[in-house]
Structure 1
Amino acid sequence: MKILHTLYQCKMGGGSLRVALDLAETACSQGYSSAVITRDSPLMARAGGECFFSGDKWQDGWKLWQRLRQQSYDLIHVHDRYCALLLRLIPATIPSVQTNHIIYHTHRRLTPFADVVVACSREMDRHHEEFFGLPASRRVYIPNGVKPQFPSATRVQALRQEYTFSQKYLCLTVARLSEQKGHTYLLQAIASLPESIRQKWQFALAGSGELESDLRAEARQLGIEQDLLWLGHRTDVSEWLSLANAFVMPSLYEGLPLALLEAMAAGLPCLVTAVDGHLDVIQPRANGLFCQPADVESLAEGLKVLLTNGFLRQRLGQRAQEDVRQHWSFEKPGSSTKVSINAFIVPLGCLPMPSLSPDSQQATPPRPRFSVVVPAYNAEPYLQDCMQSVLAQTDPDFELIIVDDGSTDGTADLVRSLSWDTRVKLVQRQNGGLAAARNSGIQIAQGEWVAFLDADDRWSPEKLATHRLVLETRPEIAVTYDRAVFIDQAGQRSGLRLAKTDRPLTAEHLLLKNYLGNGSTPIVRRSVLQAAGMFNENLKRMVDHELWVRLSWRGYSFQRVPGILTEYRLHPQSLSANSERMLQGLQVFLEEISAYAPDLVQRLRPLILACNHRWMARSAFAAGDYSRARHHGLHSLKADPSVIWRDPRAPITFLAILLQSITPSFLFTRLQSWGLNLAHRWFSVQADREQQTLPLSPSHPSSGL
């Protein structure tokens, strides 16, 4: 069997030419006679390639017609729209295949001349059906495949030493310098990156094209010349992929780019635009990241996330490499798809991913390990800060569910501004309170572990990674939690931190004090919430506290993880003004717990009241409301004097109230300042000790950055 591949428009070579050459080599290895004719290209030494076309379309058309008359071919396979036009010159007795690597409007007029039309992406196949009117018998979806060949680790190390970026990370893009590839948006995004990122990263552009001089001029105007490497057209792309630490493809539209598949095969984490072709390959949060096409802000935000997170890059790169080897490689045994064309059986590429095969309606992304639920009511002032702390996690395996609980401000619009990140989900509902909002998030959560974060709080970047170490290795633990530090309304940390405890938390301990601190510290197994119930919607206050008591009462285990990983925002006006409502909420809280633990509540009620008054006294004191602090301190001692030795922080609270009452104000102010500084130093030492136990984010092994 004799096959002819024709390609006209790739003078320098490119993805479509490499596809044609790969198909020709595969056909030759299986005993077919296969040739490729195109224009002059550095790649044409492969597979018996012939530089056939000169660039004069009329002369080239005549030459092709003569070639087809003089030589007998069993199949003609065309790979671009000009050669598709030349199909009209082919005798009707010769079967023909047309592969559309990118959709052009002219293809609609050209497809009638081919026996079978191949789409390399799912969206392109849909286009062939809906807009070109091609029946299933004349169209087929066959994605491109790659034959990854990369240099050894020794060669990679030697190459890094040859270049001036040997002490920097390298972000690579491989594409023709044309309007389609979106380089101008990439340059503007690089220019908007913080200096701290640009000092650590070099950006390499491999490719040549008609826009090269314009792009170089734009780079000079943006002041980023020193950040860029202009590599020109390369025949050693595999070496540069091995040198790189990240890959970006900002195209405005695509087919199924081989450069992306090869970058994934090299184990590179990839940031690509959410366009056809990319959507077939990239599964967000699993093997790559998406940004919006022609959107500088979205592209810059994606670069910040990718370039500042070594843990994220490692995870995405590993998964990308696994996916390419399994689904997109020519080397995979039996990967050739056989398509019947006029009684001929011709191998045309690799198998589609199972989730993207024609009998599948939609690809199903993998479930995230974490579901982060953020209830938000008129949270616009702090929500951006909150969401960014989640998106900056070193462990990217999460979904972020924002539950807008009937907000009347710009809360929903803030969430929509992050629509480029498919991990972010917005749920809008009528106002129903904290418990109902959290439960709405739990009901749609897909993760194995559910984390809660209030809209005005923040997390440290290592939060999820640290909890994951315990949740994965200790399946008997139902709830993990960490320590929190107070921040003010401006986001500045104070010297106050929530106390830590490593004691086993029984229902009695949790009734006396919420050792988990606040609703933003714990992470719960979703299976536990399904078995024991979600948040109690009868409660308006102490919502999370009741759930922890209930879980402990039912025998579930709690475990504190090391580190101060949560930042709890303190609103001074709420600490004193709401104390009466807090006491009313406490009564409802105890009534709800009495429904399943009446004896425990009855026995501990006086001490519970004492502990809560002590906590309110401390909060009022921290807010500078000394009168209310004395009020709650006296009520604490009156309810149960044993609070002095049964609540570890009670002596400090009562001593501070006493000193304020008997000491002249100027002297007390100095004592208070001295005490806070001392406490801040002590807490900082403790925090540093705990921080040393946190997991580190891996960096590239060949760099000291």
Structure 2
Amino acid sequence: MKRKILFCATVDYHFKAFHLPVMEWFRKQGWEVHVAAHGELELPYVDRKFNLPIQRSPIRADNVKAYRMLKAIIREEQYNIVHCHTPMGGVLARLAARGARRLGTKVIYTAHGFHFYKGAPLANWLMYYPVEKLLAGVTDSLITINGEDYRRAIAGGFRAGAVHHVHGVGVRTELFAPLSAEEKRKARSAFNYTAQQFLMIYAAEFNANKNHELLIRALAKLKDKMPEAKLLLAGRGSLQEQCRELAIQLGVESQIDFLGYRDDLKELIPMCDVSVSASLREGLPLNIMEAMASGLPVVATRNRGHEELIAEGATGFLVEPGDVDSFASRLLLLHRFRETRARMGASALERVKGYSLERVQEELRELYKPLMEVKDEPSYQYSRSYI
């Protein structure tokens, strides 16, 4: 019988953004690939897709329905491997796969950034830490994507079958690469920007965690010193209109372009001068890796994901999440000193090579292989013990 793997996450665009290469690899190995998530996207390399009413909030009643649906799917399809992602996708899939795991299914969970971390609110620790520690006991392979989470899982006694650290989801260095001065000029012209403008880019959903307000306030402090600066904000989200209103209030609306959802970041990012990020929490952010692969220095807030990628003073700058003045001063420095931008961008390019898609794919293949080489198929002899 053809072997099958189920990928589960809260929303289906998570797979489009991060995991298509892994799904393609499984197909090439002769496996049947299924996806369970909220959404109706058509995804390549997928043999069957289930639209579940999973919600990000753990207290939504729809999650109970999603759990029941997922449990029935796992029981019916008899997967060899279930690989789950995102907090709610990870919780529901591991709960739903408990019975299947006792019968031979292997369960993998990738933590894209634990919600409990150094400096996290106490409520996060009280809610998420006990859940993750408990569910590690029904996980064959727990994958972390940054050093802090890996050390936390080991020190915290998370009793997964194995705990691993991989270098993120992998940046596609063949798509994101530095441009020559002439290539950059042409790219900017195509998007109606000039070679003289100082372009900063942030690709992120407009939500509280991404903290766009910090960037807008930092730009407002620089509007007279950097009149040719432009902040490009790629993404959508519930706080987008609020950010527009703040830009108008602070008199910088003409210096900010709200680009909406974009599927052309591989053209937009390399033509810019600096990558910025104001997020409060990150696991290992792909947008920063893509900017570094494009040869851009980075100014970002201090959190575990940014700290793992950005070497202070070498590939960019790190500032505290609420420090508008420091963020503005770092941007002004990079604006005024072209040589510093170039040096930091070259260092960023060299540093990000360790996070390439090729390296991450190899790391994942090494983790998958022992779980794929089980001699016997899962033995689904159903009884009341299947829960």
* TM-score (normalizing by structure 1): 0.45
* Deviation of the 1:45 alpha carbon: 3.0
Map 1:222-233 to 2 at 5 A: 222-233=250-261
Counterpart position of 1:121? 146
Structure 2 Cα separation of the partners of residues 177 and 41 of structure 1:
22
Structure 1 Cα separation of the partners of residues 289 and 68 of structure 2:
37
| Cα distance change on mapping 1:51 and 1:333 into 2, 3 Å | closer
- Report whether the alignment pairs 1:138 with 2:180: no
Structure 2 Cα separation of the partners of residues 64 and 17 of structure 1:
20
Which one of 103, 128, 132 corresponds to residue 114 of structure 2? 103
The share of aligned pairs that are identical, in percent, is: 26
Deviations 1:436-466 (A, max 9, x none): xxxxxxxxxxxxxxxxxxxxxxxxxxxxxxx
3-state SS in 1 of match to 2:19 = helix
Contact 1:339 1:345 survives alignment (8 Å): no
Counterpart position of 2:172? 147
* Deviation of the 1:290 alpha carbon: 1.4
Counterpart position of 1:60? 66
Structure 2 Cα separation of the partners of residues 113 and 137 of structure 1:
8
Deviations 1:615-646 (A, max 9, x none): xxxxxxxxxxxxxxxxxxxxxxxxxxxxxxxx
| Cα distance change on mapping 1:343 and 1:224 into 2, 3 Å | closer
3-state SS in 2 of match to 1:34 = strand
Structure 2 Cα separation of the partners of residues 74 and 282 of structure 1:
38
Which one of 84, 95, 116 corresponds to residue 88 of structure 1? 95
* Deviation of the 1:278 alpha carbon: 1.4
* Deviation of the 1:333 alpha carbon: 10
Deviations 1:73-125 (A, max 9, x none): 11111102222222222112211011111212243343332222111100111
- Report whether the alignment pairs 1:292 with 2:316: no
Deviations 1:567-602 (A, max 9, x none): xxxxxxxxxxxxxxxxxxxxxxxxxxxxxxxxxxxx
The answer to which structure, 1 or 2, has the higher relative contact order (CA under 8 A, 6+ apart) is 2
Counterpart position of 1:262? 290
* Deviation of the 1:23 alpha carbon: 2.3
Counterpart position of 1:630? none
Counterpart position of 2:7? 5
* Deviation of the 1:334 alpha carbon: 8.0
Structure 1 Cα separation of the partners of residues 142 and 308 of structure 2:
19
3-state SS in 2 of match to 1:114 = coil
Contact 2:34 2:46 survives alignment (8 Å): yes
Structure 1 Cα separation of the partners of residues 28 and 346 of structure 2:
31
Which one of 74, 77, 85 corresponds to residue 80 of structure 2? 74
Structure 1 Cα separation of the partners of residues 7 and 336 of structure 2:
44
Any unmatched runs of 5+ in structure 2?
55-61, 116-127, 375-387
Name the aligned partner's letter for residue 96 of structure 2.
L
Structure 1 Cα separation of the partners of residues 191 and 27 of structure 2:
39
Counterpart position of 1:275? 303
Name the aligned partner's letter for residue 139 of structure 1.
V
| Cα distance change on mapping 1:115 and 1:331 into 2, 3 Å | closer
Deviations 1:392-436 (A, max 9, x none): xxxxxxxxxxxxxxxxxxxxxxxxxxxxxxxxxxxxxxxxxxxxx
Name the aligned partner's letter for residue 88 of structure 1.
L
- Report whether the alignment pairs 1:331 with 2:355: no
Counterpart position of 1:250? 278
| Cα distance change on mapping 1:192 and 1:345 into 2, 3 Å | farther
* Deviation of the 1:312 alpha carbon: 1.1
Deviations 1:199-245 (A, max 9, x none): 22110011111111111111111111001000111122211112211
Contact 2:188 2:271 survives alignment (8 Å): yes
Name the aligned partner's letter for residue 142 of structure 1.
V
| Cα distance change on mapping 1:35 and 1:236 into 2, 3 Å | farther
- Report whether the alignment pairs 1:168 with 2:167: no
Map 1:619-658 to 2 at 5 A: none
* Deviation of the 1:46 alpha carbon: 3.4
Counterpart position of 1:237? 265
Counterpart position of 1:45? 43
Deviations 1:474-495 (A, max 9, x none): xxxxxxxxxxxxxxxxxxxxxx
* Deviation of the 1:135 alpha carbon: 5.0
3-state SS in 2 of match to 1:4 = strand
* Deviation of the 1:158 alpha carbon: 4.6
Contact 1:330 1:336 survives alignment (8 Å): no
* Deviation of the 1:136 alpha carbon: 8.0
Name the aligned partner's letter for residue 357 of structure 2.
F
Counterpart position of 2:123? none
3-state SS in 2 of match to 1:7 = strand
| Cα distance change on mapping 1:278 and 1:40 into 2, 3 Å | same
Structure 1 Cα separation of the partners of residues 27 and 277 of structure 2:
32
- Report whether the alignment pairs 1:206 with 2:267: no
Greater radius of gyration (CA): 1
CA-atom RMSD, angstroms? 2.8
3-state SS in 2 of match to 1:38 = strand
Deviations 1:307-350 (A, max 9, x none): 2221111111112122223x11123598435126865369xxxx
Number of corresponding residues: 339
* Deviation of the 1:292 alpha carbon: 1.6
Map 1:89-488 to 2 at 5 A: 89-90=96-97, 91-92=100-101, 93-104=104-115, 105=128, 106-131=131-156, 133-135=157-159, 138-144=162-168, 145-148=170-173, 149-150=175-176, 157-166=185-194, 167-197=196-226, 199-325=227-353, 327-331=354-358, 335-337=362-364, 338-339=366-367, 343-344=371-372
* Deviation of the 1:32 alpha carbon: 4.1
Structure 1 Cα separation of the partners of residues 23 and 220 of structure 2:
42
| Cα distance change on mapping 1:331 and 1:218 into 2, 3 Å | same
Structure 1 Cα separation of the partners of residues 46 and 371 of structure 2:
26
- Report whether the alignment pairs 1:22 with 2:21: yes
Contact 1:77 1:96 survives alignment (8 Å): yes
* Deviation of the 1:26 alpha carbon: 3.4
Counterpart position of 1:593? none
* Deviation of the 1:291 alpha carbon: 1.5
Contact 1:246 1:270 survives alignment (8 Å): yes
* Deviation of the 1:30 alpha carbon: 4.8
More moved, 176-185 vs 52-61:
52-61
Deviations 1:551-571 (A, max 9, x none): xxxxxxxxxxxxxxxxxxxxx
Deviations 1:238-260 (A, max 9, x none): 11112211100111111001111
Contact 1:173 1:204 survives alignment (8 Å): yes
Any unmatched runs of 5+ in structure 1?
347-705
Structure 2 Cα separation of the partners of residues 286 and 261 of structure 1:
15
Name the aligned partner's letter for residue 143 of structure 1.
H
Contact 1:271 1:290 survives alignment (8 Å): yes
Structure 2 Cα separation of the partners of residues 116 and 247 of structure 1:
34
Counterpart position of 1:358? none
* Deviation of the 1:262 alpha carbon: 1.0
* TM-score (normalizing by structure 2): 0.79
Structure 1 Cα separation of the partners of residues 296 and 373 of structure 2:
36
Deviations 1:340-372 (A, max 9, x none): 6865369xxxxxxxxxxxxxxxxxxxxxxxxxx
Structure 1 Cα separation of the partners of residues 4 and 252 of structure 2:
51
Name the aligned partner's letter for residue 191 of structure 1.
A
3-state SS in 1 of match to 2:340 = helix
